[in-house]
Homo-oligomer: A and B are copies of this chain.
């Protein structure tokens, strides 16, 4: 059976040495986030993930959820674990103190979420979706809605969902058919069918707060006629107690490839009472608040499965004795050497390690930009941070989930035949990771968001700022002896990113298909460069700690070595992406549909 150990040491390094989170202690929320408190949170989160959630991961996969008479039962142990989550106050960690939250920086949520997701991704989706519902209501709900729903979402007593997809309408939400009919009391009657609703029905909490996109009768056609509603599973009385069951029910549970422990529901709305969130016909704006945040959380899921898969593959590679080193026996007294003597095994493990640590840095770096975009008193910093967070959100979602999945597959490969057998648990990591490439906007849609929207915003202000930040870093660090191999590779890859960006600017405006044809390559090119930059920042921090004579020198030296591995073996891929981008759309668009 697989195991999981939260990478606490690595989180400490990132938060304290690389991001120096304490430098922001003047900001609201950050003043509380002392080194001591953060360390205590890391330890408690690790304990909860390792001891409570991880043991339920295989159980959840095997049992899945059950639907009987409209009631969904989660796998054995999930209720108890959710209870513990609530008792420990985790849902409140970064929530608004006005509604019972602890008000800590959102960056810390990412730390907690990665641990939870590595330990039990299907479980982690229940509180994860609540947080999305919380955000949409916080930013767009009326005071009454906020007072009614937020305290319960923050405490975790209630959970939340996002309802977008319908059978004929996924990415293209303009095709939506779910109807909202205004009622005399200001509420709406919601009718229609939503599918793929994660955590749509379950037995973990006493109420579920559905955020639902629907079309108000007579609304404009398409995406501009879509509004957002909150539809509780149980209506809420004015004194806050639960009232009648609302007209929403779970029609079926989807049978799916993975995340079996999470209930993926068909939800039928049958004249259910709903309340408008934000303005009429402006539902997409409110929904994007949820989605942007959720996209970072999904990128994190890719990393989370790659991390736990790595940990287990590493253990297997050091324990499994099979064959001999190519250069002669390394452990001649034993019947065979451990797998890890083989360069090809090390290649796979180092691909995983260098990605995981770099992706973790990128996630926290991006999340911190998010915090600064809200909390900095300096308007310029708020703007710059928001630019970078918006730019990098699709990159984090798309690159981290595509890579996280591919690397979970690579970790599974380390096991040989045993990797394919359920008992070893590697298949679950692969199957669970697979969904992250799809939901919250399939990765092709992320790539289009990046090249079609984010690049061009404000005349490319965000991407040019990012390129400039990298150029400065490269210029100041390229003569550093230890960092030079990485920085030189980063210089080449940064130039590839710049060239690709310019190519789009020059070609895609006259033919949008050129942007579409290169979008996925661009997203990965961007992700590679961004993680390369993170290795630069980590290398810098590691050097500085080594210079200070910090204990645990091997930890910092390994950071430098892992960064060099990334530079040597992974970063060179950027050139291939640039070549493909420059090939443009003509060839692929020239095929008649019948010729496929």
Residues of chain A whose beta carbon lies under 8 Å from any beta carbon of chain B: 165, 168-172, 175, 195-196, 254-258, 314, 318, 321-323, 326-327, 335-336, 340, 342-350, 353, 405-406, 409, 412-413, 416-423, 427, 430-431, 434-435, 437-439, 442-444, 447-448, 452, 511-513, 515-517, 519-520, 554, 558, 561, 564-565, 568-569, 572-573, 575-576, 579-580, 583, 585, 587-591, 593-596
Contacts and interface: CB of A to CB of B under 8 A. Distances in A.
Contacts of A580: 569, 572
B323 A512 contact: no
A587 B565 contact: yes
Contact of A350 (B340, B572, B591): B591
Given A575-B575, A595-B558, A170 B443 contact: no
Contacts of A579: 572
B589 A343 contact: yes
A59 B35 CA distance: 56
Contacts of A554: 594-595
A422 B257 contact: yes
Given A254-B421, A423-B255, A444 B322 contact: no
A420 B512 contact: no
Given A170-B418, A413-B438, A417-B442, 7 more contacts: A171-B323, A175-B335, A326-B515, A342-B444, A343-B589, A347-B517, A568-B587
Contact of A516 (B196, B344, B573, B585): B344
Given A520-B344, A576-B575, A257 B322 contact: no
A223 B305 CA distance: 37
A588 B565 contact: yes
A322 B575 contact: no
A256 B420 contact: yes
A284 B422 CA distance: 30
Given A513-B327, A565-B587, A588-B343, A170 B420 contact: no
Nearest to A519: B344
Contacts of A344: 444, 447-448, 516-517, 519-520
B416 A171 contact: yes
28 contacts: A170-B322, A171-B323, A175-B322, A255-B422, A255-B423, A256-B420, A256-B421, A256-B422, A257-B430, A257-B431, A326-B513, A327-B513, A343-B513, A343-B516, A343-B519, A343-B585, A344-B448, A346-B591, A347-B517, A353-B596, A413-B444, A416-B438, A417-B442, A420-B435, A420-B439, A430-B434, A561-B587, A569-B587
Contacts of A342: 444, 516
Contacts of A568: 583, 587
Given A516-B344, A596-B353, A591 B326 contact: no
Contacts of A452: 326
A590 to B, nearest CB: 7
Contacts of A322: 169-172, 175
A257 B588 contact: no
Contacts of A438: 413, 416-417, 419-420
A404 to B, nearest CB: 13
Nearest to A518: B343
Instruction: Say how many copies of this protein the assembly contains.
Output: 2
| Residue among A409, A420, A593 with the highest chain B CB neighbour number at 10 A | A420
Contacts of A443: 413
B576 A561 contact: no
Nearest to A441: B416
A588 B448 CA distance: 36
A418 B195 CA distance: 10
A349 B592 CA distance: 13
Nearest to A169: B322
Contacts of A588: 343, 346-347, 350, 565
A170 B517 CA distance: 43
Contact of A427 (B257, B421, B589, B590): B257
Given A554-B595, A569-B583, A589-B346, A439 B417 contact: yes
A408 to B, nearest CB: 11
Contacts of A515: 326
A491 to B, nearest CB: 16
Contact of A587 (B336, B421, B564, B593): B564
A444 B345 contact: yes
Contacts of A442: 413, 416-417
A568 B85 CA distance: 52
Top 5 A-B residue pairs of the complex, sorted by shortest distance between their CB atoms: A343-B516, A257-B427, A326-B512, A343-B517, A255-B422
A561 to B, nearest CB: 6
A565 B511 CA distance: 19
| Residue among A314, A344, A348, A448 with the highest chain B CB neighbour number at 10 A | A344
Contacts of A417: 165, 170, 195-196, 438-439, 442
A345 B443 CA distance: 11
A315 to B, nearest CB: 10
A513 to B, nearest CB: 5
A569 B195 CA distance: 36
